[in-house]
């Protein structure tokens, strides 16, 4: 058995032992997932796409994408926590120096440390170039002040990749990236956000009040933070698309099973043409979204120049499909589809979140159209 097949087999084993039995407790009751995250590290799931020289398995990102689809079928929370962790880890891989990579990535790959990517701010939304968090030099350090919002893994993270302005006059080119540790004095975590789904999802605001960060924790050089962020977000969009595919696949499975068990006038509703039409549309849409997400992951592995285009298309389309498919599933369930305790009701609420996180669908369409229009001569 080759390593990739072994990883897929191990991922299935992990899901069967540590996610499926606790799905209801995580996704309905809000069971914290730190222990499950640590177990994912022990299983090597975090290490899948990371370089071997830093403790990773050296497999393609496409392999992790397949695993993310499997995870999100049963726990969007676990999939998104792992995705956010890898997002921050990739920021170090992309923007960090060799010393920083050796210092942090092996521990991140093992799940000994939990990471978080801190870019979004309360008043900037989808325009990262407008952030106001500032880092000012002071002797051998930077002093960071500012507030971040909707930060995944805030409250459980050991390190944060923080984007801050080191030169306010240069706009996006004045943004730098820093490794900030949770124990650094002056960091406070706000109240955990309560979303329409994923009650165990660790997401909160961060406040930086005169946080002192030594020079060696600057990623790359001053002014390169925006580039690091944009390259990292491409990876995050693929992961989000993968999670959306997983939700879609689960919604279809639940709907198909129910349609064969639910009888009207002595016939299973799966025998009605309208139900068959719904299921056909769901299946085709899911397969299309899956192929697009995997194509984007392939672009990432190849270092393709059009990765931003494919990452945006994958995230946009997969999240749209998740909403459409989960809506169909609710429709097939009828009144029960609107009832608490049925998976499709929860999946419908969860699916909508994927159209918002990691850049709204509207932002993805702007990215897509800009790439297409640039190619028109």
The domains found in the chain, sorted by start residue, are 3-113 (1.10.540.10), 116-223 (2.40.110.10), 227-374 (1.20.140.10)
Structure tokens at 90: 């990739």
Q: What is the pTM of this model?
A: 0.95
Is 302 marked active-site? no
Query: Given this model, what pLDDT does residue 376 score?
Result: 62
Per-residue pLDDT of the chain (377 residues; tens, 9 = 90+): 599 999 999 999 999 999 999 999 999 999 999 999 999 999 999 999 999 999 999 999 999 999 999 999 999 999 999 999 999 999 999 999 999 999 999 999 999 999 999 999 998 777 888 899 999 999 999 999 999 999 999 999 999 999 999 999 898 999 999 999 999 999 999 999 999 999 999 999 999 999 999 999 999 899 999 999 999 999 999 999 999 999 999 999 999 999 999 999 999 999 999 999 999 999 999 999 999 999 999 999 999 999 999 999 999 999 999 999 999 999 999 999 999 889 999 999 999 999 999 889 999 999 999 999 987 64
Rounded CA separation 89/117 (Å): 9
Rounded CA separation 228/238 (Å): 16
Q: What's the maximum distance between 2 C-alpha atoms anywhere in the chain?
A: 80
218: helix, coil or strand? strand
One of 121, 345, 350, 358 is an active-site residue; which one? 358
- Between vectors from CA 354 to CA 192 and to CA 154, what angle results, nearest 5°? 25
Query: Given this model, what pLDDT does residue 127 score?
Result: 80
Structure tokens at 61: 């990102």
Contact present, 44 and 7 (Cβ < 8 Å):
yes
């Amino acid at each position: 058995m080759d390593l990739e097949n072994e990883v897929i087999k191990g991922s299935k084993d992990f899901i069967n032992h540590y996610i499926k039995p606790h799905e209801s407790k995580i996704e309905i009751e809000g069971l914290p997932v730190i222990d499950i995250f640590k177990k994912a590290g022990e299983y090597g799931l975090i290490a899948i796409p990371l370089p071997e020289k830093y403790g990773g398995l050296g497999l393609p990102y496409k392999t992790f994408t397949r695993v993310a689809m499997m995870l999100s079928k049963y726990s969007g929370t676990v999939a998104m926590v792992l995705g956010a962790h890898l997002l921050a880890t990739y920021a170090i891989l992309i923007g960090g120096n060799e010393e920083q990579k050796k210092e942090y990535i092996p521990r991140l790959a093992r799940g000994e440390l939990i990471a978080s990517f801190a870019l979004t701010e309360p008043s900037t939304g989808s325009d990262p170039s407008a952030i106001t968090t500032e880092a000012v030099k002071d002797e051998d350090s930077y002093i960071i002040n500012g507030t971040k919002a909707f930060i995944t893994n805030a409250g459980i993270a050991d390190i944060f990749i923080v984007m801050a302005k080191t030169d306010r006059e240069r706009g996006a080119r004045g943004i730098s990236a820093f490794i900030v540790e949770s124990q650094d004095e002056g960091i406070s975590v706000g109240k955990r956000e309560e979303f329409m789904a994923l009650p165990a999802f660790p997401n909160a605001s961060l406040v930086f009040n005169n946080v002192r960060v030594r020079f060696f924790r600057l990623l790359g050089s001053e002014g390169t933070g925006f580039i690091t962020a944009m390259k990292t977000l491409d990876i995050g969009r693929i992961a989000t698309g993968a999670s959306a595919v997983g939700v879609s696949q689960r919604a279809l499975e639940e709907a198909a099973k129910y349609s064969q068990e639910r009888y009207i006038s002595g016939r299973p509703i799966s025998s009605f043409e309208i139900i068959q039409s719904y299921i056909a549309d769901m299946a085709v849409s899911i397969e299309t979204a899956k192929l697009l997400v995997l194509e984007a992951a392939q672009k990432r592995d190849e270092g393709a120049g059009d990765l931003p285009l494919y990452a945006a298309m994958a995230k946009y389309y997969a999240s749209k499909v998740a909403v459409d498919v989960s809506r169909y599933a609710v429709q097939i369930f009828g009144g029960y589809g609107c009832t608490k305790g049925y998976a499709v009701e929860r999946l419908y609420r969860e699916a909508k979140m994927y159209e918002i996180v990691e850049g709204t669908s509207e932002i993805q369409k702007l990215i897509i159209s800009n790439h297409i229009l640039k190619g028109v001569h």
